[in-house]
C-alpha cells in the first residue's frame, strides 16, 4: 500500500514538473522570459501581456465567479494567439496536462493579429 502512495506521488510530481517546463516553453514562444511562468503574480502579469489584454484584467482574476469567465476567456485567447481553435481551448481545460505540452513542444507559433482581438474590452 505504501509503494502505491509513493508511486502516485512520483507520477504527480512528474506531471507538475512537466507542466512547469511546458508553461516555460509557451512563455518563451511568446517572446517572454520563461522563468516568469513560475513567479507568482508576475506570471499573471506576463500572461496578460502574452494574450494582449489590458492590465486591469488582473483585477478580474481575483473577483469570485467573474474570475472563471476571464480564465476561460484568457485561455481561449492564448489558444487563438497560437493559431488554434475553440476545440483546442476545450482540450486545454479538460486535458491540460496533454494540450499545454502540445502547445509548448509542437509546431504552434505565437502570432499576434489585430483581427483576433475583436472584443469590446480592448484598450
| Model confidence, pTM | 0.82
d(CA 54, CA 29): 20
**Angle at the Cα of 45 from the Cα atoms of 109 and 97, rounded to 5 degrees:** 55
Looking at residue 108, its pLDDT comes to: 86
Phi/psi region, residue 31 (left: phi>0; alpha: psi -120 to 50; beta: rest), is left
pLDDT digits (tens, 9 = 90+) for 20-41: 999 999 999 999 999 999 999 9
Expressed in percent and rounded to 5, the helix, strand and coil fractions of the chain are 70, 0, 30
User: In the structure grid, which three cell numbers stand for residue 59, read together?
Assistant: 483585477
Q: Is the pLDDT of residue 43 over 80?
A: yes
Mean pLDDT of 3-15: 89
pLDDT band for position 2 (50/70/90)? confident
Ranges of each domain in the chain:
2-116
pLDDT in tens, 63-122: 999 999 999 999 999 999 998 999 999 999 999 999 999 999 998 888 866 554 444 344
| Position 13 pLDDT exceeds 50 | yes
What is the per-residue pLDDT for 113? Answer: 61
Amino acid at each position: 500500500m505504501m509503494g502505491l502512495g509513493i508511486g502516485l506521488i512520483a507520477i504527480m510530481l512528474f506531471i507538475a514538473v512537466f507542466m512547469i517546463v511546458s508553461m516555460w516553453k509557451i512563455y518563451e514562444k511568446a517572446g517572454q522570459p520563461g522563468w516568469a511562468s513560475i513567479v507568482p503574480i508576475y506570471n499573471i502579469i506576463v500572461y496578460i501581456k502574452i494574450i494582449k489584454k489590458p492590465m486591469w484584467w488582473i483585477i478580474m482574476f481575483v473577483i469570485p465567479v467573474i474570475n472563471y469567465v476571464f480564465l476561460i476567456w484568457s485561455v481561449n485567447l492564448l489558444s487563438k494567439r497560437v493559431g488554434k481553435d475553440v476545440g483546442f481551448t476545450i482540450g486545454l481545460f479538460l486535458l491540460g496536462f496533454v494540450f499545454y505540452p502540445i502547445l509548448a513542444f509542437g509546431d504552434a507559433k505565437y502570432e499576434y493579429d489585430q483581427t483576433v482581438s475583436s472584443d469590446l474590452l480592448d484598450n
